[in-house]
Amino acid sequence: MRTRPPRLLLLLPLSAALWGCSENNLIKKDDGEDVEFDDLSPNILVDPMFVDFGSLLPGASTSATVNISNVGDDTLTLDTLRLGATDSALTFTEIASPLLLAGERVTTVVTWTPTTAGPLSNSLDIRSDDPDEPLVTVPLTGSTPGGNLSVTPDLHDFGSVEVGSSTTVTLTVSNDGDGPITVTDTDYTAGDSDLHVLDLGALTDLPAILNAGESTEVIVEYTPGEAGSDDGSFGVTSDDGDEPLIVVQQYGNAISPDPCLGLSKHITLMLTADDAWDGWMDGTEFFGANSDNWSASDTLEWDMGCGDHTLALYATDVAHSVSGVIAVVWVDGAVRFVSGPTDWTIVDSPPPAGWTDITFDDSGWNIPQVCSSNAIWGASPQPFYDQGAAWIWWTSSCADLGEAWLRLNFSVP
């Protein structure tokens, strides 16, 4: 707005009056520049001189009215109203008339409808034929709170996972900010398909908007196909002004499956000894109803887990003419071991304590001897012979009476 000096009536000499006669007058502006104006001229006044829309969420809308007045004494012609910079989020209404008589006023309504987060810094430029203020600039300011995207956990270790099995981790994608976040892209990078996205949740269809406080879950699955280490990364691209790309990592180690996992085998033992026996399975003692009757066998059964096992036997005959042990071991109904010169070990003197345990070292023990003749025992007990078992002792004559300690080490499966 321009301020004119008051008009004064001056009485001048005729010569001075003739010298100063002109249809225009001169005044001094604040900067000292002479401005020439007609006695009658327009004078523009804009109110408010600036507009602050404040804080507004994307998608919302707010408006402000700008008044344009002619406070001069001649007609004001408005040329154009335009924005200082093109912005589709800003609009303004057309003025009722470009011509403002002295004392008249027109209005324009400026509306801001932000679609993305960020500050507003623009202006409404008003041009007119005001002689000393042809351009009035009304600053337009405001702010749109942005979202803040986060993805957790930022690092996940699946640990050791058996080949052929699978496990998952849930990633939480959250908007912790005050405004919405638009997710425009997701990506999973890995050396192979062992690590992959199983479910993208609300990010399946893009672009996807997460409003303030909202979150969605993304499930990453690890299904190793072969032993070795694996790693992958999940990336999210959004309009987060601080961190437009967030990448989180996952890794794991694939191991070969344990062949013993959940495995159980049914073990059947049939045996007899001349004259008597005592037995231990993995250090636990067991007995048979006929353990002191060589001509009648005993059958015992166990369900054994995967791993190493030991069958230990003590046999004795100190009163009769011949000694021996005969046995058959079935695993899940199939003959696995029979008494003979293989698999078994034997000694004829008392071994140290712990000789029935799995961990006992019997590498220094002897190989059993197959008795040279079964004639003394005749056809009894017949079932052993059918399975290929033989009478064994620590001498092949089997006529050396005394005691014997035997071990059979085996593994399941």
Give per-residue pLDDT as tens, 219-253. 999 999 999 999 999 999 999 988 999 999 999 99
pLDDT in tens, 116-133: 888 999 999 999 999 999
- pTM of the entire predicted model: 0.51
b/e per residue 99-136 (b: at least 16 CB within 10 A):
ebebeeebebebebebeebeebebbbebebebbbeeeb
Average pLDDT over every residue of 342-359: 95
- The CATH architecture one would assign to domain 264-412 is Sandwich (2.60)
| Domain 44-144 CATH superfamily | Immunoglobulins (2.60.40.10)
* pLDDT for 33: 59
Distance, in Å, from the CA atom of 291 to the CA atom of 270, rounded to the nearest integer, reads 11
* pLDDT for 23: 41
Amino acid identity, residue 339?
Answer: S
Q: Is 325 helix (H, G, I), strand (E, B) or coil?
A: strand
403: nearest Cα among 297, 284, 278? 278
Distance, in Å, from the CA atom of 220 to the CA atom of 194, rounded to the nearest integer, reads 10
What ranges in 225-275 are assigned the alpha helix state H? none
Polymer length of the chain: 413
Cβ-based neighbours of 353, under 8 Å, separated by 6 or more: none
Least confident of 31-40, 142-151, 167-176, 269-278: 31-40
For residue 409, name the pLDDT band (cuts at 50, 70, 90).
Answer: very high
pLDDT(389) > 60: yes
pLDDT(377) > 80: no
* pLDDT for 249: 97
Average pLDDT over every residue of 262-289: 93
228: nearest Cα among 196, 255, 194? 255
pLDDT(29) > 80: no
Domain ranges of the chain: 44-144, 149-255, 264-412
The CATH topology of domain 149-255 is Immunoglobulin-like (2.60.40)
194: nearest Cα among 172, 166, 156, 234? 166
pLDDT in tens, 52-61: 999 998 889 9
91: nearest Cα among 140, 54, 154, 27? 140
pLDDT in tens, 148-164: 999 999 999 999 999 99
Amino acid identity, residue 330?
Answer: W
Pairing verdict, β 276-281 and 307-317? antiparallel
CB-based contact 295:255 (threshold 8 Å): no
Q: Is 15 helix (H, G, I), strand (E, B) or coil?
A: helix
